[in-house]
Amino acid sequence: MLYKKWKKTGDEISILGFGAMRLPVVDKTDGNIDEEKAISMIRKAIDQGVNYLDTAWPYHGGNSERICGKVMKDGYREKVYIATKMPSWEIETFEDMERILDEQLKKLEVECIDYYLLHTLTEEYWEKYQKLDYKSFLLKAKREGKIRNLGFSYHDNKDLFKEIVDDFDWDFVQIQLNYLDEEYQAGMEGARYAYAKDMDVIVMEPLRGGLLAADPPEGIKEILSSAQIERTPADWALRYLWDKPEISMILSGMTTEEQMEENLLTASSSPENHLKKEDRDTVQSMKEFYHSKIRVNCTNCRYCLPCPSGVYIPELFWAYNHDAIFGDYDKARFWVTGFIKEEQRASQCIECGICEEHCPQQIPIREHLKKIVDLYENAAE
């Protein structure tokens, strides 16, 4: 296992972290974790050098933190840094934050949480945290010895990301990133910005929910077969991120021991700047192949925003393209009708055309929004 010394905390942390959000379950029920398998697998990863365990309030129907508490018994607490997150959607008062943190400490059966994050920050949640005086909460909890290091996980645009980074002396941040989504949400620009502020950057969704590790289409198989070295799709995707000095750690939500062993093997031989030019060219070719399948050439520049009607155009196009690339209709429909708030949906478009006037790519945005309504919103009714 390879490690990095984190800038502000000074901790030597494995470049692969164990995300406890896709643990083995019984009867395909998310909240019914197969405790014996899950605990055994996580401990095997720790025994092989993984020393960062990430969980959160909602994972596995609220049971992930409890299982992680059991993992850390029998001497494993001393071998691992534990991370969990404040559920931003659950809080309305300062006291709510204190109550939830205390409940998390009890579920984890620890006196102190090593790495604590404000979970899934968006504009809505950020405004809430500012009103609730999040700084006082975090600093008070740190003084009381309940948490050691402070960070946040992020799911919104680059400008808001930079605002949040600049608002507090954060130790680290967690963002979604993979070789297809370097312009999505905070993206690589955000990673570089945080890195320049001496924050360590954790990457989630390095395999885009497992899709970049799945059996690839023929076009990708041809690219991989012509590469100078044989690697699995997952290996290529992970190495591409670990190669970047801005990335401190990749989180992987591992379900099986086979997945874990493959990731451990890759993590043992992927220091920063280890890829050759031809390796980077291989990943670039895969990226170009996937992008050739997209429906909308949206670069996430966000010139189309703000929409007078509130339509969240770039996020809608991300889901629309995701479906086209991977044939993952269910996730696209969830994104369009669930993750995106009702007032931001494509059906709110009044066809004013202002977005098209501002779009550098000259995308017929209104026509695509109509198709999104038909494909996902109408189908969901």
Question: Distance (Å, rounded) from C-alpha 42 to C-alpha 51?
Answer: 10
Give me the half-sphere count of Cα atoms (radius 13 Å) on the Cβ side of residue 123: 10
pLDDT digits (tens, 9 = 90+) for 237-278: 999 999 999 999 999 999 999 999 999 999 999 999 999 999
- pTM here? 0.86
pLDDT level of residue 90 (50, 70, 90 thresholds): very high
DSSP string, 161-205: HHHHHHHS--SEEEEE--TT-TTSTTHHHHHHHHHHTT-EEEEE-
The count of other CB atoms within 10 Å of the CB of residue 205 is 21
pLDDT digits (tens, 9 = 90+) for 38-73: 999 999 999 999 999 999 999 999 999 999 999 999
249 Cβ contact list (under 8 Å, min separation 6): 4, 13, 14, 15, 16, 17, 52, 200, 202, 203
pLDDT level of residue 301 (50, 70, 90 thresholds): confident
Beta partners for residue 250, in sequence order: 16, 203
B/e letters for 325-348, b = 16+ CB within 10 Å, e = fewer, are bbebeebbbebbbeebeeebbbbb
Sign of CA dihedral 192, 275, 257, 255: positive
Question: Hey, where are the domains in the chain?
Answer: 3-284, 313-380
Burial class (CB in 10 A: 0-12, 13-18, 19+), 58: middle
More confident position, 39 or 303: 39
Provide the angle, in degrees to the nearest 10, between the axes of the packed helices 64-71 and 94-108.
40
Range 220-247 average pLDDT: 95
Q: pLDDT at position 297, please? A: 82
Which position has the token pair 């071998």? 79
Question: Distance (Å, rounded) from C-alpha 359 to C-alpha 300?
Answer: 10
Q: pLDDT at position 380, please? A: 57
Domain 3-284 fold is TIM Barrel (3.20.20)
Quick check: 41 and 24 in contact, CB under 8 A?
yes
DSSP string, 262-277: HHHHHHTT--TT---H
The count of other CB atoms within 10 Å of the CB of residue 263 is 23
**Averaged pLDDT score across all residues of the chain:** 94
Beta partners for residue 115, in sequence order: 83, 149
Q: Of 18, 101, 24, give the one whose Cα is nearest residue 54.
A: 18
